[in-house]
Structures are given as C-alpha cells and as structure tokens.
C-alpha cells in the first residue's frame, strides 16, 4: 500500500493543477489537458447508463462472470455505481469550498451510528426513479439489494445516531461541515438472544469491504503515544519542548461521502484507521526479533479495532483513551493542515475559518491537543494559542448520568500523553489563579472547577477541561440544558454569570433527519405528504407539514393514513415473524419500546405493566376479554455487556413473553416479545408501524431522546414522562397527542429519598405483579432466573437492608399507578378510530422543530458561525 510515513503538518502535496500548466513542457501540457478533458464529465444518470455502469462494476471491479454472481455481488456493484456519483459530487464540493474560502465546521465524534448507506444515498442523490427502472430492467428489486448491506454500526445509541442525522442535515443545508471519527473494524456487537438471554457476537461489519468508503492511503498522520518530554532549541535557537520516543501509530483516512438532499453538495465523514508506522525497526530486525517487530505493528492496528459497547457509562479502559487521542490528533492535524494551505494564512484568522464541535467528553482531549499543535508544532505563543483554542472549540453534553462524564487517572495521562499533562497542568494553574482572584483563595468553587480531582487516585475531569476550553457549551433539550446549569455544572454556570457570559451555555434541542426517518423508512407516508402538499418541499422544510393540519378530519386522508399504517404493520409482522418466530395480529394496537436497556429508561416498569395487564385479562370472562383492546408489546435494545441488571431485565421480558404468548385465554389479546439486535435498520421497520411508543424515563434522567421524535414523525403517539424532548414534542403537537404520566423533575429528589429509606407505599396492583414474579410464574423452572428476578423486585422494594442499596432509584414504584392510568387512556382513545387518526395526523404534521435541519441551522448560526455554500451545478 502506498503510504506516506510521517506526514508533517507543513508538508504540502504538490500535484499538477489546472493553474500550473504553464510550467509544464508543451508535450506534457497537451497530455494533461487530454486527461483533464477525459475526467471532466459526470457519469450519466439515465436508467440505461446506470445498467451499463452496474454491469461494468460487476464484471471488472468484482471479477464476476455472467453465471456466478450473488445478490451480495449485485449489491456491491450497485454500491460502486453510487460511489462513482458520490465521488464526483464530493470532489467538486470540496473544490468549491476551497475556492470560496469558507469557514468550516468540524464535528468530532467517537461514534456515528450511520445505518445502511444505499437507500439513503439514492434518495439524496435524487436517483430513486432511474435506479428503480434500471434494476427492474435487469430483473432485480432495489429493496432486495438494500437488505444485502450490513448496518455500519459505529455507535452505541442516541449520541451516535444523532451524529449521523447531523451529517445528513449539514450536507442538505449545504454547510461546509465535515465529520471526523474512528473507522472501527468491529462496530456495536450483534445481540443474539439465547434462552432469553443476551449473547454478544462480534460485528465485523466491513466484511469484504464497504463499497461506499474511499480509502485514502495518501492521507495519513503520525500519532504519538507514550514517550517523554525533553527541552531543547529549535532551528532558530528558541527554547522549545519536544515530545519524543514512545510509539507512533499512523492514522489513515477513509472517506465516506455524505450527499445532501436537494442540493449538489456532498460532504465528507472522514474516519481514521490505525495502521503501523511504515518503517520496520531495523535494530529489532538484526537482533532477530522479527516476530516482536511484527507483533508491535499488529498491536498498532488494534487501536481502531473495536467500538466500546457502552452507553452513558464510564469505561475506564486505557485503550479507550488511546482511541480518543488517536482520532482527535489525526483530525486536528488534518483540519489545521487544511487551514495553512490557504494562501497567506494568519493564525489570528483561525476562528474565522474553523469551528470544532466536541461530541460529548470523548473527544475533549482536543483542548490540550490543539494547544500542543499550536504551541509546540506551530510555535504560536501560549496566550494567543489559548485564545484561538477557546474560540474554535465547542462542547456538547449528552447526559446527566455523572458516571458518563469521563475522568482519567492522572497517572495514565502522564504515561500516555506526557506533554498533554504538562499543558493541562499549566492551563489549570492559570485557571485557578483567575478563580482565586475572583472568589478568594479557599472558596469551595475552586475545587469544583479545577480540572484535577483530588482523592486516592488523582484524576483529570474531562468535563471541566471541555467547558474551560469551549467557546459554547450546549445541552440537547430545554430541560436538559437547565439541568446542566443547575446540577451538572452549577459552579461553572455561576462563574459564567459572574463574568457576564451566561450565554456560554446554550440549548440546542436535538432532532432527526426526515430523509431517513420518514422518506426512506416510510415511503407510503412520504407519498401522502407529497401528494397532499403538492411537492416534496416538506422534506427540506418541515414547517410545510403544517399544511396537512387542515386535512386532519378529512375522511379520504383518514383512509389513506390508516392504509399506510396497515402497510407498515404488515412489514413489521413479517419482521417479527422472522426475528422472533411470533405471529402478531395486525389489527392490534402496536406498542413499542426500543432503546438501550438501562434502569433509568425503565423497560422494567414497562414489563411489570405487561404482567399487570395479563393478570387483569386472566381475571376477565371470555366475553369481557372480547371487549378489551388487543395489544402487541415489542421491546428491544442492547445492554452494555457488563450491565448485570439490564441483562436480567432482558431475560425477564423474554420469559414473560414465553408465558403470555402461549396462554390460550389471553394470547389473542396480549402478546409481548423481546426483539433481538435492535439497530438502525430494525428501527426503520419498527418505528413506522407503531401506534404507541414508550419514552418513560424518570423525569430528569433522559437528556433528550431522539426515537421519540422518529415515532411521532411517523404518526405514532407517545406514552411518556415529562422528560427530555418529550416536553417540547408535547408543546409542539398538543397535549392531547401525548399520554403523560409520572412525577415531575422537581419532585424526584424527595421521592427518591423516601424510596431509599424504605418508606414507600406500594400500589396493590404492583404488589400482585411482584407476587407473581416471586411465585416463580415467569421463571420456567430455572432457579437462576428466579433468583435474578426476585433480586430485581427486592431491590425496588428495598427489602434487604433499607438504605444500603439505591433501592428504587428510578421511582418505578412511585410512578407505576399513573403509568397504568396513562395506558388506560391510550386504550380508551384508540377505541375511537377517527379520533386516533386525527391525533396521529396532527402530531406528525407538527414536528418541524425536530428536524435536524432546524437543529443544525441553530448550531451553525449560534455556535459555529458557518454559512451555507451552495455549490452551483456546472454544466459538464
Ligand atoms: C444520549 C442521551 C439521549 C440523547 C442522545 C443524543 C449518550 C451519552 N447520551 O437522551 O442519553 O438523545 O444522547 O443527544 O449517549
């Protein structure tokens, strides 16, 4: 593989460019012009040309013959056909941004839950019609090809999926913004369910290669780890710091074109893969330590091998910090290199040309790395470098779970990133001096705001480092941003107010892209919107959906809307049959909860309610049962591999399903299943089919949630708490569209204290549920499962030793009665089909605020100062 081994930041590639021709000798000029001419056309997009290019890739790129290609080959060849078109657009967009010398935004994220590329790329490139025709003409269904694609699952959950939706909106809004991340060879694990339990299987998503990515062996950067810091003089005789020794890993770029919808702009998601540095250690060679040398090269590759499968929890693995520094360093080197390629650049102009967003604490070592690159490598003065850093960087907080605010042992940073520890130490010294001046030498504010946490193991708080180094800090929903100010970083917020900058902390309510989550996931609904509104403009301007409201009582729309739901439910039924071997009644109310399994998200409360519903049904006579609302409850999500309680909850759900689904008295009226391996493509099938979805976190625990938005955009209604973005969705769609229950955020502390001390009345209906569990009704004679289920219940009831456990930390017991009430309101409302349909239309049509187009516009205007740069179509 061709690879530059150590890419200095100041090293610029010299390639012949059209402007350079004068320097070529005449013969070369003619040849180059011929080449440019040959390269100066776009691939045609009519069905026949698509067919030809498909055949060419099948035969020449994949070496297939007429008789031996599989559907997977066909998918791959179709992917390459698309990639050709994406590349044209990506290259021209980059040239255009360069020509216009625009300010750029860079999104640094350790996770991108991209989901399948193909369908989305076809839609965004506006190639749906010719592609469909081309493949029908060849006797193939596009849908079948879509299913061949492995889900690139380079993320855990909401945070990674949000990053992917953001990329779609950045491109659609023609904003010059790129994403940077890690090209993990193994993404999020595949979840298998064996005997009701989660089993994690490795996901080698790359398989034989992803046809949508572009490996860039010519774009690599060295990243140093470990080693030591020495002092010396540079070539001009100035005192300087050198970080030497240790290991060098090469970061190699893989580009993933991100096409915008209804624009000619295509942006880039650049993912870094760790490769060994090129040179073999020759000393090792001669010492006959060949195997060691190979081994150390192989180790370098481990760095980008696997995504940590944790969601909102701190994972104290050294490898994780190495991954973070690896991708941050490569990304900052890359973007700074782009900056200094501009003619006559001045460092003072950096904030006018560069805005960086740090997605959660994962990339926040960027604060120290930016300082290192500016001060040590570029020789910018410390004060100026700090000024530039704090103007360019921004930080998003995604969770109120304190364990997710990363902290690294000082000892670890000292070993791995010795220069960064010095930089952080110096930054902290200056910071503390400033605080002492303001608040006095011994104010408690100082220890809270210090980057260092004292204790047996001294730690570096990445949250504090991020806030200090950021121009803006943001939360992801209104309630969450207020919690950040009040609870997560109160001292910091006070400091901002004291220095007259309260708006350093801003709110950026999350969103989702309607291209993937309505148009691709639910083509029938997309067609309804386009038909009633007279164009597909709503796909780039969701406020246009308000135009649907005047039809919300229209009986013709009602019948089309219900037909759309039926179609989605039929797809869901086939999916559930395949994944769970369960037949579901398509006339039943479909009730879905899909998200990571976590105690705060309260899947436990959901399954306890299902047991209650089952008990009520059992009490009824057959005649009475006939009158009850049929329901199918589907729950899906992955549990972090070390999260014991979450895994028990999965087992409980599976076991409850086994009992209920087989009970001849009730199975017609109630079914429940745990759907394995929840992922983006499963979501695209499940979400459009829901009538009701559950977003039932304890108030104040879910930062925002984004699947709530996807469900409502697809005409589903929500059972929810006053938490995260539920609150804002309700404001937009109307109180009647949401079934709200549970205590409010300001009530939580008191109730939790009571729960902890054990003084807690338990509703008799919940007691009956607990009793059934304790009786072993759901244990299937498995003693281990029975003990686990009882441990869950005991914990909620604080049975063993009040005060020694967290007990019912997430207030399941306290919120349970009002949860039952909310579910009863769902049934009653659903009984009136016309009313339900009206509410469904009303909600789906009021979701403009939750398009990531709105979110990203706000980021671009308020945080980044980045403006759209719409690439005009050149006539080629
Ligand atoms: C998650 C929150 C969600 C939120 C997404 C996107 C993490 C650390 N946080 O509530 O739990 O919707 O981020 O902001 O994954």
Question: Closest Cα to atom 12, ligand 1: which residue?
Answer: 705
Q: Does residue 528's CB lie within 6 angstroms of at least one atom of ligand 1? A: no
CB contact at 8 A, 539 and 262 = yes
With the C-alpha atoms ordered 342, 348, 351, 352, is the resulting torsion angle positive or negative?
A: negative
778 has pLDDT over 50? yes
Question: Closest Cα to atom 6, ligand 1: which residue?
Answer: 159
pLDDT in tens, 796-844: 997 765 555 678 999 999 999 999 999 999 999 999 999 999 999 999 9
Mean pLDDT is lowest, of 8-12, 563-567, 657-661, for 8-12
If you measure from the C-alpha of residue 161 to the centroid of ligand 1, how many angstroms do you get, rounded to a whole number? 9
402 has pLDDT over 90? no
419 has pLDDT over 50? yes
Task: For residue 510, give the ligand 1 atom closest to its CA.
Answer: 14
CB contact at 8 A, 446 and 433 = no
pLDDT at 9: 43
pLDDT at 311: 64
Percent of the chain residues past pLDDT 90, beyond the cut: 85
| Residue 577 to residue 571: CA distance in whole angstroms | 10
Q: Does residue 705's CB lie within 6 angstroms of at least one atom of ligand 1? A: yes
Q: Does residue 715's CB lie within 6 angstroms of at least one atom of ligand 1? A: no
282 has pLDDT over 60? no
User: Which of 110, 700, 705 gets mutated to test ligand 1 (max ligand atoms within 8 A of its CB)?
Assistant: 705
Please compute Rg for the chain using Cα positions. Answer: 28
pLDDT at 301: 87
120: Cβ–Cβ under 8 A, 6 or more apart, which residues? 168, 515, 516, 520
Pairing of strands 239-244, 228-233: antiparallel
If you measure from the C-alpha of residue 156 to the centroid of ligand 1, how many angstroms do you get, rounded to a whole number? 10
pLDDT at 67: 83
Task: For residue 311, give the ligand 1 atom closest to its CA.
Answer: 15
CB contact at 8 A, 163 and 505 = no
pLDDT in tens, 118-160: 999 999 999 999 999 999 999 999 999 999 999 999 999 999 9
If you measure from the C-alpha of residue 848 to the centroid of ligand 1, how many angstroms do you get, rounded to a whole number? 20
* 445 closest CA partner among 457, 463, 458, 432: 432
Give the phi and the psi of residue 125 in degrees, each rounded to 5: -85, 5
716 has pLDDT over 80? yes
| Residue 479 to residue 477: CA distance in whole angstroms | 6
The two structure tokens encoding residue 422: 């010095």
User: Which of 156, 320, 398 gets mutated to test ligand 1 (max ligand atoms within 8 A of its CB)?
Assistant: 398
| Residue 324 to residue 304: CA distance in whole angstroms | 10
Q: Classify residue 845 by burial, with Cβ atoms within 10 Å: 0-12, 13-18, 19+.
A: buried
Percent of the chain residues past pLDDT 70, beyond the cut: 94
pLDDT at 759: 75
Give the phi and the psi of residue 338 in degrees, each rounded to 5: -65, -40
| Residue 253 to residue 331: CA distance in whole angstroms | 9
User: DSSP of 210-265, one letter per residue?
Assistant: -TT-EEEEEEEEEEEES-EEEEEE-TTS-EEEEEESSEEEEEEEEEEEEEPTTSS-
If you measure from the C-alpha of residue 158 to the centroid of ligand 1, how many angstroms do you get, rounded to a whole number? 5
Task: For residue 161, give the ligand 1 atom closest to its CA.
Answer: 6
Residue labelled with tokens 């470098």: 385
CB contact at 8 A, 703 and 596 = no
| Residue 224 to residue 250: CA distance in whole angstroms | 9
| Residue 305 to residue 300: CA distance in whole angstroms | 10
pLDDT at 316: 67
If you measure from the C-alpha of residue 207 to the centroid of ligand 1, how many angstroms do you get, rounded to a whole number? 29
pLDDT at 732: 98
Q: Does residue 111's CB lie within 6 angstroms of at least one atom of ligand 1? A: no
pLDDT in tens, 360-392: 999 999 999 999 999 999 999 999 999 999 999
Place 161 in a pLDDT band, splitting at 50, 70 and 90: very high
Tell me 43's DSSP state: P
507 has pLDDT over 60? yes
Q: Considering only residues 292 and 865, tell me which one the structure prediction assigns the higher pLDDT.
A: 865
Place 869 in a pLDDT band, splitting at 50, 70 and 90: very high
CB contact at 8 A, 541 and 826 = no
pTM score, two decimals? 0.95
Place 283 in a pLDDT band, splitting at 50, 70 and 90: low
Stretch 205-218: mean pLDDT, rounded? 92
C-alpha to C-alpha distances, 146 to 78, 118, 580, nearest whole angstrom: 10, 6, 22
pLDDT at 30: 80
Place 277 in a pLDDT band, splitting at 50, 70 and 90: confident
Cβ count within 10 A of residue 686: 27
* 869 closest CA partner among 175, 354, 89: 175
Catalytic site positions: 398, 595-596, 601, 706, 710
pLDDT in tens, 190-207: 999 999 999 999 999 988
* H or E element in which residue 228 lies: strand 228-233
| Residue 557 to residue 841: CA distance in whole angstroms | 9
7 has pLDDT over 50? no
pLDDT at 494: 97
pLDDT at 14: 39
294 has pLDDT over 90? no
The two structure tokens encoding residue 344: 């006559």
Q: Does residue 608's CB lie within 6 angstroms of at least one atom of ligand 1? A: no
pLDDT at 175: 98
| Residue 603 to residue 745: CA distance in whole angstroms | 19
Mean pLDDT is lowest, of 67-76, 259-268, 615-624, 838-847, for 67-76
State the chain's mean pLDDT as an integer: 93
If you measure from the C-alpha of residue 458 to the centroid of ligand 1, how many angstroms do you get, rounded to a whole number? 28
Q: Does residue 723's CB lie within 6 angstroms of at least one atom of ligand 1? A: no
Place 421 in a pLDDT band, splitting at 50, 70 and 90: very high
Task: For residue 158, give the ligand 1 atom closest to its CA.
Answer: 5
């Amino acid at each position: 593989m061709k690879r530059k081994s150590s890419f200095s930041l100041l090293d610029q590639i010299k390639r012949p460019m059209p402007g350079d021709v004068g320097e070529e000798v005449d013969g070369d000029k003619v040849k180059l012009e011929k080449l440019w001419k040959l390269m100066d056309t776009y691939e045609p997009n009519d069905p026949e040309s698509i067919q030809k290019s498909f055949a060419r890739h099948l035969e020449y790129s994949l070496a297939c013959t007429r008789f031996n290609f599989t559907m997977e080959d066909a998918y791959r060849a179709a992917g390459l056909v698309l990639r050709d078109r994406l590349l044209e657009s990506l290259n021209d967009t980059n040239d255009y941004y360069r020509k216009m010398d625009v300010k750029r935004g860079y999104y640094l994220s350790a996770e991108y839950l991209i989901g399948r590329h193909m369908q989305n790329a076809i839609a965004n490139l506006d190639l749906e019609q010719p592609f469909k025709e081309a493949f029908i003409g060849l006797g193939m269904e596009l849908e079948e090809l879509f299913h061949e694609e492995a889900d690139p699952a380079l993320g855990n959950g909401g945070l990674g999926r949000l990053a992917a939706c953001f990329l779609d909106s950045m491109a659609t809004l023609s904003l010059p913004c790129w994403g940077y991340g890690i090209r993990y060879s193994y993404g999020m694990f595949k979840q298998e369910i064996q005997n009701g339990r989660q089993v994690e299987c490795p996901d080698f998503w790359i398989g034989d290669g992803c046809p949508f990515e572009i490996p860039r062996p010519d774009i690599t950067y060295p990243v140093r780890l470990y080693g030591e810091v020495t002092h010396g003089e540079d070539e001009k005789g100035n005192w300087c710091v050198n970080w030497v020794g240790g290991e060098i890993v090469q970061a190699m770029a893989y580009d993933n074109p991100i096409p915008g919808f209804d624009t000619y702009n295509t942006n880039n998601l650049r993912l870094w893969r760790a490769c060994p540095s090129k040179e073999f250690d020759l000393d090792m060679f001669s010492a006959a330590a060949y195997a060691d040398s190979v081994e150390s090269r192989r180790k370098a590759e481990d760095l980008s091998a696997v995504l940590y499968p944790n969601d909102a929890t701190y994972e104290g693995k050294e490898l994780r910090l190495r991954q973070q520094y690896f991708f941050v360093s490569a990304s900052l080197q890359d973007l700074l290199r782009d900056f200094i390629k501009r003619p006559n650049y001045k460092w003072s102009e950096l904030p006018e040309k560069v805005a960086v967003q740090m997605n959660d604490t994962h990339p926040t070592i960027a604060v120290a790395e930016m300082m290192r690159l500016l001060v040590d490598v570029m020789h910018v003065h410390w004060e100026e470098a700090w000024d530039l850093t704090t103007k360019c960087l921004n930080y998003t907080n995604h969770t109120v779970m304190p364990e997710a605010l990363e902290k690294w042992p000082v000892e670890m940073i000292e070993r791995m990133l010795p220069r960064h520890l010095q930089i952080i130490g110096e930054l902290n010294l200056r910071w503390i001096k400033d605080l002492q001046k303001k608040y006095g030498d011994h104010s408690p504010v100082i220890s809270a705001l210090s980057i260092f946490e004292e204790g047996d193991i001294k730690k570096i708080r990445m949250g504090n480092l991020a806030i200090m180094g950021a121009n803006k800090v943001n939360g992801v929903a209104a309630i969450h941003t207020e919690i950040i100010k009040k609870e997560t970083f109160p001292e910091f917020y006070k400091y901002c107010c004291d220095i007259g900058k309260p708006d350093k902390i801003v709110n950026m309510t999350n969103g989702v892209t309607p291209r993937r989550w309505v148009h691709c996931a639910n083509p029938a609904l997309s067609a309804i919107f386009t038909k009633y509104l007279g164009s597909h403009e709503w796909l780039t301007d969701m406020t246009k959906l308000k135009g649907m409201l005047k039809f919300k009582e229209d009986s013709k729309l009602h019948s089309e809307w219900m037909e759309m739901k039926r179609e989605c439910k039929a797809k869901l039924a086939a999916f559930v049959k395949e994944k769970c071997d369960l037949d579901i009644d398509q006339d039943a109310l479909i009730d879905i909860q899909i998200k990571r399994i976590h105690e705060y998200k309260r899947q436990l409360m959901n399954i306890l309610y299902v047991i209650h519903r089952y008990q009520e049904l059992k009490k009824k006579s057959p005649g009475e049962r006939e009158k009850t609302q049929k329901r199918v409850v589907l729950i899906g999500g992955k549990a972090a591999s070390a999260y014991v309680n979450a895994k028990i909850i999965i087992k409980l759900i599976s076991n409850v399903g086994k009992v209920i689904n087989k009970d001849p008295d009730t199975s017609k009226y109630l079914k429940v299943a745990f759907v394995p391996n929840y992922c983006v493509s499963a979501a695209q099938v499940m979400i459009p089919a829901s009538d009701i979805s559950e977003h039932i976190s304890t108030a104040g625990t879910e930062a925002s949630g984004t699947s709530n938005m996807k469900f409502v955009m697809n005409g589903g209604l929500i059972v929810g708490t006053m938490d995260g973005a539920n609150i804002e969705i309700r404001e937009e769609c109307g109180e009647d569209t949401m079934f709200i229950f549970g205590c409010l955020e300001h009530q939580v502390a008191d109730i939790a204290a009571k729960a902890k001390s054990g003084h807690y009345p338990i509703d008799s209906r919940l007691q009956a549920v607990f009793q059934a569990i304790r009786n072993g009704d759901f244990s299937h004679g498995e003693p281990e499962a029975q003990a686990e289920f009882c441990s869950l219940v005991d914990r909620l009831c604080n049975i063993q030793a009040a005060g020694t456990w967290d007990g019912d930390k997430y207030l399941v017991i306290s919120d349970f009665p009002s949860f039952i009430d909310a579910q009863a309101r769902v049934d009653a409302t659903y009984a009136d089909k016309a009313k339900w349909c009206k509410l469904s239309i009303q909600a789906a049509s009021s979701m403009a605020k939750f398009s990531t187009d709105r979110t990203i516009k706000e980021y671009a205007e308020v945080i980044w100062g980045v403006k759209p740069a719409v690439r005009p179509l050149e006539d080629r």
